[in-house]
């Protein structure tokens, strides 16, 4: 079935550097993708909605200049965490809607650790 692939699955970076996370839809096109953040033992929190060919829509409280989203093609969305700090350490997950209203395929997640 359709799969959403996320890369990398984990990354460790130094404080102040930027990290790019890729989310690809395999075997299907996704005009919309969603980016979530998940802290330990907590649920997923929607950060932004990525729209192919246009600007992303950010949820309240999410800094758009810090979390840069690019959705340049129908199969790829990227999230760049700029000037990362230790408090940005988290589990980042992307998803893409399926053909069923309200349903989505999720990527395998990216564990970001900022040291």
Q: How many residues in total does the chain contain? A: 115
Determine if 106 is a binding residue for other proteins (CB under 8 A).
yes
Determine if 7 is a binding residue for other proteins (CB under 8 A).
no
Determine if 46 is a binding residue for other proteins (CB under 8 A).
yes
Instruction: Restricting to residues 49-88, name those near other proteins by CB under 8 A.
Output: none
CA distance 37 to 81: 12
Residue in 87, 92, 84 with CA at minimum distance from that of residue 108: 92
The contact set with other proteins (CB under 8 A) reads: 4, 6, 41-46, 91, 93, 95, 100-109, 111
């Amino acid at each position: 079935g359709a799969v959403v692939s996320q890369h990398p699955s984990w990354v460790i970076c130094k404080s102040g550097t930027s990290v790019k996370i890729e989310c690809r839809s395999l075997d299907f096109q996704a005009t919309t993708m969603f980016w979530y953040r998940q802290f330990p033992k907590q649920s997923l929190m929607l950060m932004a909605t990525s729209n192919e060919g246009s600007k992303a829509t950010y949820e309240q409280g999410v800094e758009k200049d810090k979390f840069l989203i690019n959705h340049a093609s129908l199969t790829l969305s990227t999230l760049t965490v700029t000037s990362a700090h230790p408090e940005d350490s988290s589990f980042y997950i992307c998803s893409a809607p399926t053909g069923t209203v309200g349903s989505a395929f999720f990527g395998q997640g990216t564990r970001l650790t900022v040291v």
